[in-house]
A and B are shown apart, each in its own frame.
Chain A
Amino acid sequence: MFALDPLLLGDVTWGDFAVVAVKVGVSFVVLLVATMFMVWFERKVIAGMQNRIGPNKAGPFGLLQTLADGTKLFFKEDLLPEKADRFVFRLAPFLSFVPAFLSFCIIPVGGDFTDGNAGKVRLFGHTTLLQVADPPIGVLLGLALSSIAVYGIMLAGWSSGSKYPLLGSVRASAQMVSYEAALGLSVATIFLLAGTMSTNGIVLGQGGLRNWNIVATGVIPFVIFMLAATAELNRPPFDLVEAEQELVGGFNTEYSSIRFALFFLAEFMNTMTMSAIIVTLFLGGPQPISIGSWTADVHLGPFTGTFWFLAKVLVFLYIYIWFRATLPRLRYDQLMDLGWKLLIPVALAWFMALAGLKVAQNAGWGGGAQALGMVVGAAVILACFGLLRMATRVSARVRAEEGAMF
């Protein structure tokens, strides 16, 4: 049940085992090295946007800057605050680092999805999928791992035995739990269309630009997922967890040396993994761009899919950096309002509308009946939004009468 990889069907030989080991090893190393370059990329792009030069001393174009920083961090003294909870303090960095690695396992980083190949490629005499694992509950695994990553940040702040980190981690847990709901609801629309939770199956259903989930689900779930993912990653403009002006450094104030480096790496690694998940879920992953019968031709043998995957992921990495360089941070109540009063209701309404449409199609309704259903559905949703707005208005007025300040 756990491995739908054609490699592991039937008898498993040592050769198959070696292929799996190589896949795990390669994804580990590639992710680490890519994180290194991601940090460089981010610093360089932000520098460009702010009219600075950015890192340019270590290696060509400053490419080795992160390596130099990492080496420096290794040799720094590792401080442990006197009031810290020793065990939890040491455990926390790993709780945010390990899920960052694990969630990359479910992402198809390449493969041939044309002509019914279902992502299988032949490498060194073995037929396999270009992803470490393809569990039938794939995307849910990603969500579960991102909810475990909350623990790393939360416990880091608590165990430091200091006020600012604690405030940072309280903010973090509230923020991440609230946005997980919006994240899950927007992914549910994809489950509805794809009929599967396996990442391989979701990518397989996205042949051709019209079937990409960003188009097929009607853009809104994509926008919600993108916003919620940014909040889940604690990246700007949702980086209240480490608001330097208010919280010194946020949850990681008391961390130094390699433990700090682990948090830092995990943050960038999560950014990359989340970009990869967005590409997999909404933009067809390794599927080439094709409109109608026209397909953008790139011929790289078994790595054609990998080319498309990397190209799409790079776009999202750039967008995340762009966010950071341009958008001001939200205030905390604005953050909560956006999550609870806008994203979650919209995601829920959109999900219900799509589900209704799907049921109507399955029941064989004609075009007119479907259109009527859509109108009725839209009216119901609008009425619900009106009620919700009235409720929030009333509660805001009550709070204002009680003397709350906004």
Chain B
Amino acid sequence: MLAASGLVAQNIAFGIVALIMIVGALRVVTTKNVVHAALWLVLVLAGAAAQYLILSAEFVAITQVLVYIGAVTVLFLFGTMLTRAQLGRATDLNNKNWALGIPVALLLLGTLVYVLIDSFHAEKLVDDPKDVPNVTTQQISDSIFRPYLVPFWALSFVLLAALIGAIVLARKD
């Protein structure tokens, strides 16, 4: 979809950022240090933010930074430091059910590919940067809170359930 031939600089930038993201993602799962893994994850998430910027979706990009880098990964690191803060290599990092991740990852990939192809078909980005549709933050919020309000609510209930579940698990009584 990003293969519009007029946007040379954007295509090159996309390639470079994508490469960095792939390397980062591989290092997340191969590094022997939990904190380093979290830092590589930051690189991957920052790469995703950079991709949004290349698509000139600066609101989504900054939200990505705020939520994933600024909150989620900070909480990862906080939890790690609170529980197992040793420096250097850890030996027991691999969960013995790690192989289960492969079908899940493939399933996710399949779903994403299907959804993308289904909604865009052979649509391409326009060649001339001046013709790129200008989607504002307001349009994003209008579509979240009008046609997609019910999925949005469903998602927030999932999060609420996860939150309550975590509290129930953590409480002693």
Residue contact B70 to A144, C-beta cutoff 8 Å: yes
- Restricting to B39-57, which residues have a CB under 8 Å from any CB of A? 39, 42, 56
Residue contact B39 to A154, C-beta cutoff 8 Å: no
| In the assembled complex, B19 has its CB within 8 A of some CB on chain A | no
> Cβ of A303: which chain B residues have Cβ within 8 Å of it?
none
> Cβ of B65: which chain A residues have Cβ within 8 Å of it?
144, 147-148
> Cβ of B150: which chain A residues have Cβ within 8 Å of it?
none
Residue contact A135 to B81, C-beta cutoff 8 Å: no
> Cβ of B78: which chain A residues have Cβ within 8 Å of it?
154, 170, 173-174, 177
- Restricting to B144-173, which residues have a CB under 8 Å from any CB of A? 172-173
Residue contact A144 to B77, C-beta cutoff 8 Å: no
> Cβ of A158: which chain B residues have Cβ within 8 Å of it?
35, 77, 81, 85, 87
Report the bound CA distance from A170 to B66 in whole Å: 20
Residue contact A2 to B81, C-beta cutoff 8 Å: no
Chain A interfacial residues counted at CB < 8 A: 34
Report the bound CA distance from A158 to B36 in whole Å: 11
> Cβ of A161: which chain B residues have Cβ within 8 Å of it?
87
CB of B129 to closest CB in A, whole Å: 11
Instruction: Return the chain B residue nearest A172 by Cβ.
Output: B78
Contact partner, A1, options B56, B62, B77, B85, Cβ 8 Å = B56
Chain B interfacial residues counted at CB < 8 A: 28
Residue contact B74 to A150, C-beta cutoff 8 Å: yes
Residue contact A147 to B173, C-beta cutoff 8 Å: no
| In the assembled complex, A115 has its CB within 8 A of some CB on chain B | no
Contact partner, A147, options B71, B88, B134, Cβ 8 Å = B71
Dominant secondary structure at the A interface: helix
Contact partner, A135, options B39, B58, B66, Cβ 8 Å = B58
Residue contact A147 to B81, C-beta cutoff 8 Å: no
- Which of B35, B82, B87 has the most CB atoms of chain A within a 10 A radius of its CB? B87
Query: Given A173-B78, A398-B173, do A150 and B59 touch, yes or no (CB 8 Å)?
Result: no
Query: Given A88-B35, A136-B137, A143-B66, do A177 and B74 touch, yes or no (CB 8 Å)?
Result: yes
| In the assembled complex, B69 has its CB within 8 A of some CB on chain A | yes
> Cβ of A85: which chain B residues have Cβ within 8 Å of it?
33, 35, 87-88
- Restricting to A130-144, which residues have a CB under 8 Å from any CB of B? 135-137, 140-141, 143-144
Report the bound CA distance from A170 to B81 in whole Å: 7
Report the bound CA distance from A84 to B35 in whole Å: 13
- Restricting to A332-378, which residues have a CB under 8 Å from any CB of B? none
Interface string of B87-98 (1 = CB under 8 A from A): 110000000000
Contact partner, B71, options A137, A154, A180, A402, Cβ 8 Å = A180
| In the assembled complex, A166 has its CB within 8 A of some CB on chain B | yes
> Cβ of B62: which chain A residues have Cβ within 8 Å of it?
137, 140-141, 144
Contact partner, A177, options B35, B36, B75, Cβ 8 Å = B75
Instruction: Return the chain B residue nearest A149 by Cβ.
Output: B70
Report the bound CA distance from A191 to B56 in whole Å: 21
| In the assembled complex, A76 has its CB within 8 A of some CB on chain B | no
> Cβ of B77: which chain A residues have Cβ within 8 Å of it?
154-155, 158, 173
Report the bound CA distance from A148 to B68 in whole Å: 11
> Cβ of B39: which chain A residues have Cβ within 8 Å of it?
88, 155
Instruction: Return the chain B residue nearest A136 by Cβ.
Output: B58
> Cβ of A170: which chain B residues have Cβ within 8 Å of it?
78, 81-82
Report the bound CA distance from A1 to B54 in whole Å: 11
Contact partner, B81, options A136, A173, A177, A402, Cβ 8 Å = A173
Contact partner, B85, options A143, A166, A177, Cβ 8 Å = A166
Query: Given A1-B58, A88-B35, A402-B172, do A154 and B85 touch, yes or no (CB 8 Å)?
Result: no
Report the bound CA distance from A140 to B33 in whole Å: 32
Instruction: Return the chain A residue nearest B66 by Cβ.
Output: A144
CB of A166 to closest CB in B, whole Å: 6
> Cβ of B36: which chain A residues have Cβ within 8 Å of it?
88
Report the bound CA distance from A280 to B124 in whole Å: 42
Apart from the given pairs A143-B66, A143-B70, A158-B87, 7 other A-B contacts in the complex at a CB distance below 8 Å: A88-B35, A140-B59, A144-B69, A147-B69, A170-B78, A177-B71, A402-B172
A-B contact pairs, 30 of them (CB 8 A): A1-B56, A1-B58, A2-B56, A85-B35, A88-B35, A136-B58, A137-B62, A140-B63, A140-B66, A143-B66, A144-B62, A144-B69, A144-B70, A147-B70, A147-B71, A148-B65, A148-B69, A154-B74, A154-B77, A155-B35, A159-B87, A166-B81, A169-B81, A170-B78, A170-B82, A173-B74, A173-B78, A174-B78, A176-B74, A177-B75
The 3 tightest CB contacts between A and B, nearest first, are A147-B70, A144-B65, A173-B78
A residues near B (Cβ < 8 Å) are 1-2, 83-85, 88, 135-137, 140-141, 143-144, 147-148, 150-151, 154-155, 157-159, 161, 166, 169-170, 173-174, 176-177, 180, 197, 398, 402
